[in-house]
């Protein structure tokens, strides 16, 4: 996901920046000077324009406008597909140049005039975290999706299998105001992993939904072991559904021991199911997005 945006004048002066995730303790002026210097060195030695810089934790994706007025840089997680960032980068460049070209040509070192650009960036540049709900039939994936209001995006893959997705608002979560929640069949995902490779590569989190009964847990554990080998970057969690069936369901602690994966107990028919699922999603995002980015902060 995009964690930061930098727009730097050709002179090396930072004219706009925006941080989406992590603590904004980074000296943006220092970083812009470093990135400008690297770009200049690359040109001087005949390497051409820098398209990206890869560090252990981050990927800096570059572009410039046709007149070379500014460098536009998006900072993403190192495992994120660069193509998605480049689409956003082109959108950022075109909008910024369209709005402020005359100001940039007649630059008077005034950056406050770019502050209204925040609204466009927040509405168009933010990439919502993606959470994939997978499991066998009847484990409660659709019931979880249906807890949330709003329009469901229904897609059909090449084999006419349904792919259901919703945009979940998160009004109380720091800097993340929405998340994408998608539902898929676990066995179908594994058997056709080559077809679904773009999905597996683009999602940040995969939640395995199980009904917590012994027979389903055994099958799901085997399927999870196969899926885990096909996933490059997503974090896994278990949602142990049907906790209301006390006599037949394993407690979340036992399910977590079986899978060796962070597990959340859940009952989709409980009167507070929606609030509970909001709580689970918020905790997952805190662990996999906020805390992870904070630990990588440069």
Domains in the chain: ranges and CATH: 2-124 (3.30.450.70), 130-296 (3.40.50.300)
Q: In angstroms, what CA-CA distances link 3 with 8, 97, 244?
A: 17, 22, 39
Q: Structure tokens of 251?
A: 């407690």
Which stretches of the chain drop beneath a pLDDT of 50?
298
Hey, is 219 helix, strand or coil? helix
Which residues fall within 8 angstroms of residue 103, CB to CB, at 6 or more apart? Answer: 110, 113
> Tell me: the pLDDT tens digits for 131-174?
999 999 999 999 999 999 877 877 665 666 667 889 888 877 66
Give pTM, 2 decimals.
0.74
pLDDT for position 298:
46
CA 26 to chain centre: 21
pLDDT for res 240: 95
DSSP 101-169: HHHHHT--S--GGGTTHHHHHHHHT----EEEEEE-TTSSHHHHHHTS-S--EEEE-TT--EEEEEEEE
Q: What pLDDT is attached to residue 112?
A: 86
- DSSP-derived letter for residue 261 is S
Tokens at 235, concatenated: 């974090």
pLDDT (0 to 100) of residue 266: 95
């Amino acid at each position: 996901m995009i964690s930061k945006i930098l727009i730097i004048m050709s002179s090396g002066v930072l004219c706009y920046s925006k941080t989406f995730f992590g603590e904004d303790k980074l000296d943006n002026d220092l970083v812009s000077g470093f990135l400008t210097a690297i770009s200049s060195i690359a040109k001087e030695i005949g390497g051409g324009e820098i398209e990206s810089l890869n560090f252990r934790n981050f990927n800096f994706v570059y572009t410039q406008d046709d007149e070379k007025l500014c460098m536009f840089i998006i900072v993403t997680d190192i495992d994120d597909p660069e193509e998605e960032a480049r689409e956003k980068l082109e959108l950022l460049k075109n909008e910024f140049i369209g709005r402020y070209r005359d100001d940039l040509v007649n630059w008077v070192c005034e950056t406050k005039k770019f502050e209204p650009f925040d609204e466009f960036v927040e509405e168009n540049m933010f990439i919502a975290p993606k959470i994939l709900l997978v499991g066998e039939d009847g484990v409660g994936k659709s019931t979880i999706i249906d807890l949330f209001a709003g329009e469901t995006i229904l897609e059909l893959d090449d084999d006419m299998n349904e792919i259901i997705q919703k945009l979940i608002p998160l009004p109380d979560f720091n800097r993340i105001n929405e998340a994408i929640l998608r539902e898929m069949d676990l066995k179908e995902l594994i058997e056709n992993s080559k077809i679904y490779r773009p999905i597996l590569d683009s999602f940040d989190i995969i939640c395995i939904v199980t009904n917590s009964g012994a027979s389903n847990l055994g099958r799901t554990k085997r399927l999870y072991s196969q899926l885990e080998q096909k996933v490059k970057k997503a974090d896994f969690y278990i949602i142990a559904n049907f906790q209301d069936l006390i006599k037949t369901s394993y407690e979340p602690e036992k399910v977590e021991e079986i899978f060796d994966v962070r597990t959340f107990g859940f009952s989709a028919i409980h009167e507070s199911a929606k609030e509970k699922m909001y709580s689970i999603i918020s905790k997952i995002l805190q662990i996999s997005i906020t805390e992870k980015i904070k630990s990588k902060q440069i």
